Structures are given as structure tokens and as C-alpha cells.
């Protein structure tokens, strides 16, 4: 019998009568990151470049802390896009691509943006907070996560 109510579903799941997907836990500090497929807002695919660190920032257009933080992230992206610094990827939690495009255009930001929040959060973010800045080292291991807004000088230190 197929469960029809939430209570029946949970009872069946507890008894092993329902197949539930198993989600991998996000990478812990020092773990190799298992990158999902990432599609950018413009439709291009994003992949981590071997031998280069990555900085991934989770944000939302409606978050006032993210607005200030993103100004620093754009500065980091502009300084690093020559390939000498970390590869920058931002992940918007917004669902409407038009809202994100308008926000980026209004602010003049050029950093790459993905709306693949769920997949990237499953790989990188054990915490559900924004802004969240995640650093992956050159060997592909999760180095550190910074919850909340960062000062410009702290963001720019990520160039090293």
C-alpha cells in the first residue's frame, strides 16, 4: 500500500517500506569537494580550474549584508580574474533569474553567478546562512567557511 498522508509516509519510511534518497553530507574542513554540475546565470557551465583555489559565496539580492559583501566579492573577482588569484563563483538563493540579472546590472557586478543553490549547498555548505563564503584550496579541499558579512580587507586577503 502506498502511503498517502505524511504520517503514513513517515511510518512506512521508519519501517523501511519507502525508498528515501540518501544525500551526501557537505564536505567538512579538509575534505576533497565533490563538485556538482554548475550552470551559470548566462547558461555557461562552470568548473573548478585544477591547481587554482576557489571562493564560493552564497547570497541573496534581498539580504542587506550580502549587498555590502558582494561589493567586496566583485572587487576580489576583478583582481583575480587574470588567473593569479582564486576562481570566484557566487551562488544566489534567489529563484527569479530576472531579479538577479537586474541586481547585477544595477550594481555593475561582473562575477559569475549560479542559481544552483541546492546542489552547491549540498556539496559545500553545512550552514544555511547568508552571506556564506567558502574557500576551497588548490588541492580541491575545503579550507574554510566564513558565515556572515566580511570586511573588504578580509575578502581581499583571499587573493593569497
80 falls within a domain? yes
Domain CATH number, residue 94: 3.40.30.10
pTM for the complete prediction? 0.83
**pLDDT digit of tens for each residue in the chain (160 aa)?**
444 454 554 455 455 443 433 345 788 888 999 999 999 999 999 999 999 999 999 999 999 999 999 999 999 999 999 888 999 999 999 999 999 999 999 999 999 999 999 999 999 987 889 999 999 999 999 999 999 999 999 999 999 8
113 falls within a domain? yes
Distance from C-alpha of 136 to C-alpha of 119, rounded to nearest angstrom? 16
Instruction: Supply the DSSP string of 51-95, one letter for each residue.
Output: TS-EEEEEE-TT-HHHHHHHHHHHHHHHHHTTTTS-EEEEEE--S
Q: State which residues form the domain around 123.
A: 26-159
7 falls within a domain? no
Helix axes 64-80, 97-107, angle to 10 degrees: 70
Distance from C-alpha of 156 to C-alpha of 111, rounded to nearest angstrom? 15
Distance from C-alpha of 79 to C-alpha of 91, rounded to nearest angstrom? 19
128 falls within a domain? yes
Q: Total structural domains in the chain?
A: 1
Give the cell for residue 62.
534581498
Amino acid at each position: 500500500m502506498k502511503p498517502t498522508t505524511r504520517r503514513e509516509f513517515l511510518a512506512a519510511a521508519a519501517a523501511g517500506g519507502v525508498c528515501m534518497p540518501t544525500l551526501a553530507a557537505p564536505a567538512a574542513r579538509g575534505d576533497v569537494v565533490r563538485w556538482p554540475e554548475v550552470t551559470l546565470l548566462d547558461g555557461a557551465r562552470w568548473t573548478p580550474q585544477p591547481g587554482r583555489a576557489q571562493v564560493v559565496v552564497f547570497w541573496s539580492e534581498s539580504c542587506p549584508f550580502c549587498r555590502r559583501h558582494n561589493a567586496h566579492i566583485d572587487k576580489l573577482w576583478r583582481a583575480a580574474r587574470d588567473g593569479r588569484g582564486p576562481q570566484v563563483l557566487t551562488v544566489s538563493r534567489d529563484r527569479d533569474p530576472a531579479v538577479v540579472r537586474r541586481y547585477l546590472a544595477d550594481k555593475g557586478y561582473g562575477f559569475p553567478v549560479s542559481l544552483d543553490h541546492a546542489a552547491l549547498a549540498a556539496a559545500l555548505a553545512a550552514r544555511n546562512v547568508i552571506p556564506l563564503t567558502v574557500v576551497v584550496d588548490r588541492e580541491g579541499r575545503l579550507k574554510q567557511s566564513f558565515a556572515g558579512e566580511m570586511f573588504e580587507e578580509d575578502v581581499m586577503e583571499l587573493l593569497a
